[in-house]
Amino acid sequence: MDGQRMPVRVDGRLDEPLSRWLWLVKWLLLIPHYIVLFFLGIAFAVLTVVAFFAILVTGRYPRAIFEFNLGVLRWAWRVAFYGYGALATDRYPPFTLKDVPDHPARLDIDYPEELSRGLVLVKWWLLAIPHYVVVALFMGGGLGGDDGNWNAPGLVGVLVLIAAVALLFTTRYLPGVFAFVMGMHRWVLRVAGYAFLMTDRYPPFRLDMGGAEPEPQPGPVRAP
């Protein structure tokens, strides 16, 4: 970890004890959230395009759009943490764009006072390509099967399934699995913040595992 604070910070607290059976029906319980997130996702995409042109012209991300888009990412992260992105809490996600300080899943992104006008043209597709490959490995992707419509499961899905089976038989969430899942989500959300133009700081190729966002470590002191 370098000595600078990350502009995108992701936290997740394993909220034990967890129900042995609840994960079997969370897909049903989350249907209202999936519906809301569908429409929020449309608004997010449109407003990101608006922000793109605003940055290109002014070098600034409109503050109101930034707060809305950050709220959508927070909402999606809470749903993933409750649902099949982590299964790490049984606390039902709130229907809000705002930060919920006592919620086990939190996301924050520093508002950038100024962004590069030139970088906005290439960072979301060209510069982010290496990260997209890693994100596809984590979250799943690609085609398979005879109809070409099957999406290969990602590492997150496989590990969460292992955690669910362990939870079913032991009532315990495997701590090593949780730390790894959090590290992958942290990587993905840092890339999202960069690709959606919310920061100019390139995401590190680093798996910062564990529930809490790592604190920056001071660098070596130079001799005068």
pLDDT of amino acid 216: 78
The residues, any chain, with a CB within 8 Å of residue 26's CB and separated by 6 or more, are 82, 83, 84, 87
Say if residue 1's pLDDT is above 80: no
Q: What's this model's pTM, rounded to 2 decimal places? A: 0.91
3-state secondary structure of 206: coil
Which stretches within 3-106 are classed as H helix?
A: 26-29, 31-58, 63-82
CA distances to 44, 68, 92, 101, 210 from 89, rounded to whole Å, are 26, 25, 8, 15, 15
* Helix 129-139 / helix 175-195 crossing angle, nearest 10 deg: 140
Q: What mean pLDDT do residues 37-57 have?
A: 98
Say if residue 58's pLDDT is above 50: yes
Say if residue 145's pLDDT is above 90: no
Question: For 125, phi and psi rounded to 5 degrees?
Answer: -125, -55
pLDDT of amino acid 144: 40
pLDDT of amino acid 215: 83
Say if residue 188's pLDDT is above 70: yes
pLDDT of amino acid 152: 66
pLDDT of amino acid 149: 44
Q: State yes or no: cis peptide before 216, omega within 30 of 0.
A: no
pLDDT of amino acid 134: 96
Average pLDDT taken over every residue of the chain = 92
pLDDT of amino acid 25: 97
Lowest mean pLDDT among 105-109, 130-134, 158-162, 216-220: 216-220
The residues, any chain, with a CB within 8 Å of residue 141's CB and separated by 6 or more, are 151, 152, 154
Q: What mean pLDDT do residues 146-172 have?
A: 82
The residues, any chain, with a CB within 8 Å of residue 151's CB and separated by 6 or more, are 140, 141, 142, 143, 144
Q: What percent of the chain has pLDDT over 70?
A: 90
- Please, which pLDDT band fits residue 140 given cuts at 50, 70 and 90? confident
pLDDT of amino acid 143: 39
